[in-house]
Structure 1
Amino acid sequence: MSDGTLITLLSLGVTALFMLGVPVFLVIGYWVVGMSFVLGLPIDNIAAALSRVFTDGFALLAMPLFILTGDLINRSGIARRLTDYAYACLGWIRGGLAMAALGACGLFAAISGSNSATTATIGSMLHPEMVKGGYDERFSAATAAAGGTVGIIIPPSIIFIVYGFLMNLPIGDLFIAGILPGALMVLAMMIACFLVCFRNKWGYIINFDIIRVLKTGVGAWLGFFAIGLVLWGIYTGKFSPTEAAGVTVGFCVIVGFLCLAITKIVDRTHPGFAEREERPVDERGFGGMLVVNGFGPLELPSITMRSAQITGILAPLIAVSVVMQQILSVMGAQEFLTAFVTSMGGYYAVLFTAMVIVFISGMVLESLPVTIILAPILAPIAHDIGVEPVQFAVIFLVGASIGFITPPYGLNLYVASGVTGVPYFKLLRYTWPYLIALISIWIIVALVPPLSTMLLPDL
């Protein structure tokens, strides 16, 4: 049997495994091991790649730390305070609660850096509230899924860390470059949300109350401080993204412990203080809004374990995908794709062809394998036609993020379905307004380079 036949059978086999729901890490791992035997490559190359990623990838240390940050702010109650603030600001507009969910996704993303964590956290908190508030349950779940797309664009971003590691780009510059595009994505989705809600008369409207806005703003100060700490440290060069991740984790742990201790002390003299989060915002005093519920030292191991489980899924996938890149290079896939894209013609034709490839790949793969497989191929092509590397990173990853709500894969749709109980296929009808909004912003980001580069100090 020829090598071509073996490669075809092997590729079809792992594709079938993927369609059956086998984890992506195992699918790519089976293909890498099988291709190593077919092409006669040393199998110990896989172990060497794993070792290099885990021992030399200092930048990747930020990934588990930002994942842990997301879990810490969720458990401490900071995420709920950010959500309350977003609703206080937007609840007076038709569709205000749904728009607040999108705004809360943006705020949560500015601390956690994960799309799935953003969708799961905001979806589980606000979906029941949205249904009670007169929204269609399918639209509510789709809104949480769409809001989660900014989790990998608004800094800090786990996928920006991976991209910077692979392409040897400053991760701090990538973080800064994602600020404006991420904000535009949230704004565009809010506009789409408003139009849908206005047409269907969904959502109860609350009166705008400046006291409520101030009170919830005070309540969210810890979240704002964490966001500012990360952005200030990276933008000013006080610490690297990896160090920023460590500082943020330390801050969240200290806040969690102190707030729990304060809550217990105050509750002794003011019974019921510990249950203040269960009462409406209007019934909480400004003093009670200054501290969140927090968590105790005994809860920290379980929180850390959850973050470690997610890291344990992502890190091996990065390592095995590095070997996949090497195999594709040996097979000539990089040269073939380069020739195909460059044959399209001029600047815009090549750029939009690359964008189409990213979009189609995002329909069937998660952003991590899309980035690991395609970024090393498409980024040099973009550089050759004059696209600034940091700008192309943003273009690439905004396109990859859209795949989170694009069937048939649409990871965020699965996450939203899981946390809300709404069947996956029922969400699809309400994703298209968000898809149109996100694709529009994607095109604008591609056509207007300053949106990605104007905040960078050296560009």
Structure 2
Amino acid sequence: MTGVVILVFFSLVAMIMINVPIAVALALAAVVGLITAEGVSSLVTVALDMYAGATKFSLIAIPMFVLAGAIMNAAGITRRLIEFVSALIGFVRGGLAMVNVGVSLFFAEISGSAVADVAAMGTVMIPEMKKRGYSAPFAAAITSSSASLAIIIPPSIPMILYGVSSGASIEQLFVAGVVPGLIGAAGLMGVAYIFAVRYDLPVEEAFNLRRLRATFIDALPTFALPVIILGGIFGGFVTATEAAGLAVLAALLVGLWYRETDLRELRSALLDGAMQTAVVMLLVAASVLMGGFLTRTQIPQELAAGLTALTDQKWVVLAILNVFFLVIGFFLHSAAAIILVVPIVIPLIQTVGIDPVHFGLIVTLNLAIGQQTPPVASVLITACSIAKANIWEVSKVNLPFVGVLLFVLLLCTYVEEVPMFLVEYFYR
């Protein structure tokens, strides 16, 4: 059986290296393994297994949250958020950078996707920051790092995928992300302020209570969106999937209230969202085949037994897994990393007594950092493209912001109460 596993591994790596899409490579490698281990007869139910895997009820939340974010952009909701947050904190030196973080924090509560966040916020915030005297690398770095809050703050598409892959409660994963997300936002704002003082970045305008009141009233219907989503989930009234459907309905109603929906922009956003969703669903379907192969070969269980034979110290295992996921994040997108790796390590975390919800947040934070680190760095590359900035120059400026995310990761890894406090309060 060891020879079969080695064959599958090298088949997968070889296909990825010649740019075969990861989902296709994953499915083909699993098929190779099944045929080698059990013969052609093992493929009889392949199509049905893949279909069942990609049509789980929990996964419906992914296209719904993407759609809600698209409606927000097309209906002028995002612009009103920017104006309100600018009136609230724009008077601080370097305030536009903090506005960037604040708006990302709010937008994260709707879209659940860091790429969607940076695409939506970046096209507005980066040109405006450059116009006000911020360097292109700094504008790209703060936009990219703050967008990663979108997969820490609920709702989060990677958390949904982790929940489906591990069997952990998606609602509890969402709750666990609230405190780390707020800590991350505060840290990013703090670093932005240090940059602002050091490089004498501009103050936008003096604080104006009348403008704050006007922008608050104008954005008031928008504030119903996080209340509906997070209030429904935390209150136990709806599941994550049902909250996603409510988010779409609420975004449509708020868009109708403002009467500014740009149908052309909405159509473009929907097409992009449909392609993102299709890629994720294909990955999920392919992972079912690989999961079946791994289950039959008992590889995850053997890995868990081998590692626990070396150490059964929880903190050591967490350190090893953190390094592992950080390295994986350099080379794989978050969805692919979760689907490929989580089913393998779940038996290990169960053996050493790590809470799967706690571990889910650790995985998510690692992958948020991976979105900022080349060569893959999907979010960073998107921000660089919008800012027309060199990725290596942006990466240098981005180091302190990535440091904040690393701090949050270590804090949540070794002070379990930070992410789990609200979970314990609401659910246990």
Aligned residue in 1 for 2:16: 15
Name the amino acid aligned to 1:365: L
Change (3 A) 1:4 1:308: closer
In structure 2, stretches of 5+ residues that fail to align are none
Residue 348 of structure 1 deviates from its aligned partner by 1.0
Q: Are the equivalent residues in 2 in contact too, given 1:130–1:203 (CA < 8 A)? A: no
2:388 pairs with 406, 416, 421, which one? 421
Name the amino acid aligned to 2:92: I
Change (3 A) 1:347 1:259: same
Residue 333 of structure 1 deviates from its aligned partner by 3.8
Aligned residue in 1 for 2:171: 172
Q: Are the equivalent residues in 2 in contact too, given 1:82–1:220 (CA < 8 A)? A: yes
CA offsets, 1:54-98, max 9 Å, x none? 34x111111110110110101111112112222222222222111
- Whether 2:333 is the aligned partner of 1:334: answer no
Change (3 A) 1:8 1:455: closer
Q: Are the equivalent residues in 2 in contact too, given 1:150–1:186 (CA < 8 A)? A: yes
Residue 230 of structure 1 deviates from its aligned partner by 0.5
Alignment of structure 1 residues 131-210 onto 2, 5 Å: 131-210=130-209
Aligned residue in 2 for 1:310: 276
Change (3 A) 1:215 1:392: same
Aligned residue in 2 for 1:53: 53
Instruction: Give the aligned CA root-mean-square deviation in angstroms.
Output: 2.3
1:454 pairs with 414, 421, 425, which one? 421
Q: How many residues align?
A: 421
| Distance in 2, Cα, partners of 1:448 & 1:8 | 35
CA offsets, 1:286-339, max 9 Å, x none? xxxxxxx2346x876655444222211111111112322333444554245324
Residue 392 of structure 1 deviates from its aligned partner by 1.7
Change (3 A) 1:258 1:17: same
| Distance in 2, Cα, partners of 1:239 & 1:116 | 26
Change (3 A) 1:12 1:50: closer
| Distance in 2, Cα, partners of 1:391 & 1:424 | 33
| Distance in 2, Cα, partners of 1:35 & 1:143 | 44
Aligned residue in 2 for 1:32: 30
Greater relative CO (CA pairs within 8 A, separation 6+): 2
SS at match of 2:422: coil
Alignment of structure 1 residues 33-432 onto 2, 5 Å: 33-40=31-38, 42-55=42-55, 57-260=56-259, 293-295=260-262, 303-331=269-297, 333-342=299-308, 343-432=310-399
| Distance in 2, Cα, partners of 1:332 & 1:198 | 56
CA offsets, 1:326-370, max 9 Å, x none? 334445542453245432441211111111111111111111121
| Distance in 1, Cα, partners of 2:84 & 2:122 | 16
Name the amino acid aligned to 1:371: I
Query: Is 351-360 or 385-394 further displaced after alignment?
Result: 385-394
Residue 439 of structure 1 deviates from its aligned partner by 0.4
Change (3 A) 1:6 1:347: closer
| Distance in 2, Cα, partners of 1:15 & 1:303 | 28
CA offsets, 1:23-75, max 9 Å, x none? 432333443344444444533443232211234x1111111101101101011
Name the amino acid aligned to 2:400: P
Name the amino acid aligned to 2:239: S
CA offsets, 1:88-116, max 9 Å, x none? 22222222111211111111001111110
Change (3 A) 1:340 1:190: farther
Residue 205 of structure 1 deviates from its aligned partner by 4.1
CA offsets, 1:223-258, max 9 Å, x none? 211011101111112221111111111121222234
Query: Is 225-234 or 316-325 further displaced after alignment?
Result: 316-325
Name the amino acid aligned to 2:396: R
In structure 1, stretches of 5+ residues that fail to align are 261-292
Residue 445 of structure 1 deviates from its aligned partner by 1.0
Identical amino acids, percent of aligned pairs: 29
Change (3 A) 1:331 1:427: farther
Residue 438 of structure 1 deviates from its aligned partner by 0.5
Change (3 A) 1:3 1:229: closer
Aligned residue in 2 for 1:277: none
Name the amino acid aligned to 1:133: R
| Distance in 1, Cα, partners of 2:87 & 2:231 | 26
Q: Are the equivalent residues in 1 in contact too, given 2:77–2:255 (CA < 8 A)? A: no
Name the amino acid aligned to 1:213: L
CA offsets, 1:130-166, max 9 Å, x none? 1111111011112111111111111111121112122
Name the amino acid aligned to 2:288: V
Q: Are the equivalent residues in 2 in contact too, given 1:341–1:354 (CA < 8 A)? A: no
Residue 412 of structure 1 deviates from its aligned partner by 0.6
Q: Are the equivalent residues in 2 in contact too, given 1:154–1:178 (CA < 8 A)? A: yes
SS at match of 1:455: helix
| Distance in 2, Cα, partners of 1:170 & 1:131 | 42
Report the TM-score, using the length of structure 1 for normalisation: 0.85
Name the amino acid aligned to 1:14: M
